[in-house]
């Protein structure tokens, strides 16, 4: 079992020992070097590699000495520059050696770090660890320097063995020197070690700002339609490590909601002067009634702060038109075959819908029992581009309640600029009995007269009658429609 452990131990050594460590020391300072691997069961011997001489243990007055894992220079001298190695011997007598290279830099007034620095550069996000400090027992950092100037200020946080720069920027790049005190047997030594810092993420957060939507915006929607709610926020300069733009639906994050109804997508981009933006689109697949009572809140968060904007939905005042024409005709109350109904249910749909591709809303065909209320009719009329009214004697004479209603609603539609097409199905000698608004329309545009001869070929869309009807219909019939399409 012990053998096995040692083998693993050795293989770990072999992979590390290929790179020799380097030390840059200042003249007249203390230097302590540590053998890279060690355990209490191994024996360590230090050599001056170039002369192959063993470095002995400490004696009275000795300056360079070794003990177990450590090699001391108290203090350094220029002639100490050179190669050193620690050789460790395991209990099975196998050995392993590690090479270390030391450069002692001559002391120069006003220069706090050597011209050549071989400690690895720090390209992190602001934490700069003091090199070699782990080798010193009870060392205390007394001062940090950047480019030999003492560091102070709110942006620097001093740890036991490191300094942390808050939000490092390009100006923070440079030579960072830690100066500490090392005490050995009552003798106090100065030690300094320097490494280069290159700020990696030159980002800085800004107070998050939602550009759109505006808080308390009301967005017009249609029931059944899809909706894409976009939220765009500016979060800082350059890519931020902490930046979230997301939607809540009545305070519930979208990720916890039914994915088939709600989901969101985010992307980011940099704008002018490297301003960092995120934009998150909430996709609602189908607007439902309950969504009209819901708060949709966009939240933008960065490491600095967070902000919100809440929008609500309301129905569009005017629906998109979904019918090409709404057809008003007198309803027969007898069981007798009635030409007008035959015309409305058969001839007209065959020509205008089947042959020309229009969509008609025909009361009695496209409405259901109980739905025939004034508001339902009004909504359908509002969704229609044209209003087709069939003029008959019955229309003139009948004071039928439902029909009056139709006409009243149609009056309201005049104000909404829905075009009216009047089809004179029977010859009406005098229009005087007609409602004033109808008379007005007749005066303006006349009527399209259904004459006896048309009944010979009523299904011909090329007849003069249908040509005139189509002339008044919307220009291009849409190829397909669906109720509440959005």
Ligand X SMILES: *[C@@H]1O[C@H](CO)[C@@H](O)[C@H](O)[C@H]1NC(C)=O
15 binds ligand X (CB under 6 A): no
437 binds ligand X (CB under 6 A): no
From the centroid of its chain, how far is CA 227?
Answer: 17
Instruction: Read off the DSSP letter of residue 91.
Output: T
CB 55 within 8 Å of CB 65: yes
463 binds ligand X (CB under 6 A): no
Residues 286, 141: Cα–Cα separation, whole Å: 64
Stretch that binds ligand X, among 85-93, 370-378, 388-396, 468-476 (CB under 6 A): 85-93
Instruction: Read off the DSSP letter of residue 172.
Output: G
CB 384 within 8 Å of CB 325: yes
Contact mark string toward ligand X, 126..165, x via CB under 6 A: ------------x-x-------------------------
Helix (H) or strand (E) holding 4: helix 2-16
* Residue 65 beta carbon to ligand X: minimum distance, rounded to whole angstroms: 18
Size of the site for ligand X (CB under 6 A): 24
**Among 8, 32, 35, 6, CA closest to 20:** 35
Report residue 283: phi and psi, to 5°. Answer: -105, 115
Contact mark string toward ligand X, 21..50, x via CB under 6 A: ----------------------------xx
Residues 213, 299: Cα–Cα separation, whole Å: 11
Among 183, 285, 435, 484, binds ligand X (CB under 6 A): 183
Question: 230 pairs with which residues across the strands?
Answer: 281
Among 85, 240, 246, 418, binds ligand X (CB under 6 A): 85
372 binds ligand X (CB under 6 A): no
Q: Of residues 246-285, which lie at the interface with ligand X (CB under 6 A)?
A: 250
82 binds ligand X (CB under 6 A): yes
Residues 318, 390: Cα–Cα separation, whole Å: 26
62 binds ligand X (CB under 6 A): no
- Residue for token digits 């009948």? 398
Q: 264 or 291, CB closer to ligand X?
A: 291
Report residue 206: phi and psi, to 5°. Answer: -120, 160
Stretch that binds ligand X, among 53-61, 182-190, 377-385, 464-472 (CB under 6 A): 182-190
Residues at the contact surface with ligand X, assessed by CB under 6 A: 17, 20, 49-50, 82-83, 85, 92-93, 97, 99, 101, 120-121, 138, 140, 181, 183, 188, 190, 196, 198, 250, 295
């Amino acid at each position: 079992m012990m053998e096995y452990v040692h083998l693993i131990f050795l293989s770990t050594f072999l992979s590390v020992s290929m790179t020799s460590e380097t030390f840059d020391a200042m003249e007249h300072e203390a230097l302590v070097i540590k053998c890279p691997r060690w355990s209490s069961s191994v024996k360590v011997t230090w050599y001056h590699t170039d002369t192959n001489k063993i470095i002995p243990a400490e004696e009275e007055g000795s300056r360079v000495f070794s003990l177990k894992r450590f090699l001391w220079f108290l203090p350094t001298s220029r002639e100490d520059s050179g190669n050193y190695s620690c050789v460790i011997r395991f209990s099975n007598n196998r050995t392993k050696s590690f090479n270390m290279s030391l450069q002692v830099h001559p002391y120069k007034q006003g220069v706090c770090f050597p011209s050549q620095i071989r400690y690895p550069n720090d390209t992190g996000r602001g934490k700069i660890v003091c090199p070699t400090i782990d080798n010193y027992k009870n060392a205390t950092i007394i001062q940090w320097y950047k480019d030999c100037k003492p560091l102070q200020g709110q942006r620097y946080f001093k740890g036991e063995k490191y300094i942390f720069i808050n939000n490092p920027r390009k100006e923070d790049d440079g030579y960072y020197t830690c100066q500490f005190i090392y005490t050995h047997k009552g003798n106090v030594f100065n030690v300094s070690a320097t490494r280069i810092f290159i700020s990696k993420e030159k980002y800085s957060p800004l107070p998050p700002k939602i550009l759109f939507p505006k808080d308390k915006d009301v967005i017009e929607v249609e029931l059944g339609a899809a909706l894409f709610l976009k939220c765009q926020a500016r979060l800082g300069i350059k890519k931020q490590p902490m930046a979230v733009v997301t939607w809540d639906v009545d305070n519930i994050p979208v990720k916890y909601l039914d994915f088939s109804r709600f989901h969101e997508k985010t992307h980011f981009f940099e704008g002018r002067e490297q301003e960092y933006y995120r934009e998150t689109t909430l996709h609602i697949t189908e607007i439902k009634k309950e969504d009209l009572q819901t708060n949709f809140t966009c939240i933008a968060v960065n490491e600095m702060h967070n902000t919100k904007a809440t929008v609500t939905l309301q129905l569009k005042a005017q629906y998109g038109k979904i019918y090409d024409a709404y057809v008003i005709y007198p309803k027969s109350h007898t069981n007798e075959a009635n030409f007008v109904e035959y015309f409305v249910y058969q001839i007209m749909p065959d020509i205008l819908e089947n042959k020309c591709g229009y969509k008609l809303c025909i009361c009695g065909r496209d409405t259901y029992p109980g739905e025939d209320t004034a508001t339902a009719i009004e909504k359908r009329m509002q969704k229609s581009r044209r209003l087709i009214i069939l003029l008959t004697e019955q229309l003139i004479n009948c004071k039928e309640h439902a029909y009056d209603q139709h006409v009243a609603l149609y009056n309201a539609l005049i104000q909404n600029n829905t075009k009216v097409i009047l089809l004179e199905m029977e010859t009406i000698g005098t229009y005087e009995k007609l409602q004033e608004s109808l008379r007005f329309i007749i005066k303006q545009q006349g009527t399209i007269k259904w004459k006896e001869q048309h009944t010979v070929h009523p299904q011909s869309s090329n007849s003069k009658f249908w040509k005139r009807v189509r002339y008044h219909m919307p220009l291009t019939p849409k190829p397909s429609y669906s109720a509440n399409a959005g």
